[in-house]
Amino acid sequence: MLESFKKYHDGDVKGTFAYFADSVEFISDRFYYKGPKDSLETLITRVRANDATLSFEPDSWTTLYYPDLDHTWVTVWGMQRWTNKKGIADSAYIKNDFIVKNGKITKVDEKWRQFEAVKKKK
C-alpha cells in the first residue's frame, strides 16, 4: 500500500493503480468518486499532470486490522509539497486513510490542512 502512495508521488500513476481493486471509492476535499479504478486512474492522471514536482514526507503511519470486516486500514500523516507547471509552489499537511481488502486498496479517504500562502517581500 505504501508503495502505491510512493509511486504516485514519483509520477507513476499507472503503477499507483496496480495496487487498487477493480472497484474503488475515493473521498477528498471537494471530490468524491465511486466506480471502476480505470476511470479514477484517468481522472488522477490528469490531476497529477498539473504538477512539475510532488513530494511527500511522512511523519507517521499506522495499520489496523478489523477481523469482523476482514479488511485493513492504513493511515498515513505527513507533509506534501508540490510545484505546479507554472512554477508556483505550495504545501499541505495531509492524512490518508486507505482500506485494503484481499491485498488491494478499495477506499481512499484523504484530508488536507492547507497552509496560508507566504507573501513575497518586494
Say yes or no to pLDDT of 122 above 80: no
Say yes or no to pLDDT of 121 above 70: no
Per the domain annotation, does 122 fall within a domain? no
Instruction: Give the pLDDT confidence score for residue 104 in this predicted structure.
Output: 96
pLDDT digits (tens, 9 = 90+) for 3-12: 898 899 999 9
High-pLDDT (> 70) share of the chain, %: 94
Per the domain annotation, does 93 fall within a domain? yes
Per the domain annotation, does 120 fall within a domain? no
Instruction: Give the pLDDT confidence score for residue 117 in this predicted structure.
Output: 65
pLDDT digits (tens, 9 = 90+) for 82-97: 999 999 999 999 999 9
Per the domain annotation, does 32 fall within a domain? yes
Per the domain annotation, does 121 fall within a domain? no
Q: How far is CA 19 from CA 46, 78, 90, 110, 121, in A?
A: 19, 21, 28, 17, 44
Per the domain annotation, does 44 fall within a domain? yes
Domain containing 80: what range?
Answer: 2-114
How many domains does one find in the chain? Answer: 1
CATH code assigned at 86: 3.10.450.50
